[in-house]
Structure 1
Amino acid sequence: MDEITQQPGIDRPPLGDVADYPRDSNDGPIVIANEFADVVVRKVETRNGMRLDIWSPRRGTRIRLDAVALDCLSFQEPELISELLSRRPAP
């Protein structure tokens, strides 16, 4: 926490050239699954730029998130994620 504002601080990694970031050699989708859920994640190009497409085959739902939405998600408190998981999804 920041002593002056009493707000949580954000640790920002040093910015580097885009070439410094790790690159995936596999362009195909990534499937992440366990006994409770499975999702298919892939990078897609839209007319508004690059998005992360997350699809749940079991539920038939999909969301596409841009870099700003993913960045926002990355600094949320774990309690918010737990709260989202405790909600019953709509049928």
Structure 2
Amino acid sequence: MDDNTQQPGIERPPVGDLSEYPQKATDGPIVIANEFADVVIRKVETRNGMRLDIWSPRRGSRILLDAVALDCLTFQEPELISELLSRRPAP
């Protein structure tokens, strides 16, 4: 495969590379956006415990993830995430 046809991938940080834990917490949502997508992320308390609420205003979709689901994401191979990105979302 030549360099012009490669699809973008996800880079995994080196093993043992730890990011610094944020020193200040905010009460408001976090908005992450670029020209292709935007998401709003909030930490919410549910009757079943703390969840991460991820909302896509453009698509109108939302998901609540608990710590186990988020932890599961951390040990996935980058190729799985690339495969998910290559799928066409349902309308």
TM-score range, shorter chain: 0.7 to 0.9
What percentage of residue pairs aligned between the two structures are identical?
A: 85
* Cα displacement (A) at 1:27: 1.1
Aligned-pair Cα RMSD in Å: 1.7
Name the TM-score, length of structure 2 as normaliser. 0.75
2:76 maps to 76
What residue identity is the alignment partner of 1:50? M
> 2:28, 2:44 → 1: CA distance?
11
With structure 1 as the length reference, what TM-score do the two structures score? Answer: 0.75
Unaligned 5+ runs, structure 1: 1-10, 14-20
Gaps of 5+ in 2: 1-14
* 1-structure distance, mates of 2:38, 2:29: 13
Aligned residues: 74
Superposition misfits of 4+ residues, deviation over 3 angstroms: 21-24
TM-fit CA distance, 1:69: 0.1
Which of 1 and 2 has higher RCO (CA within 8 Å, sep 6+)? 2
Larger radius of gyration: 1
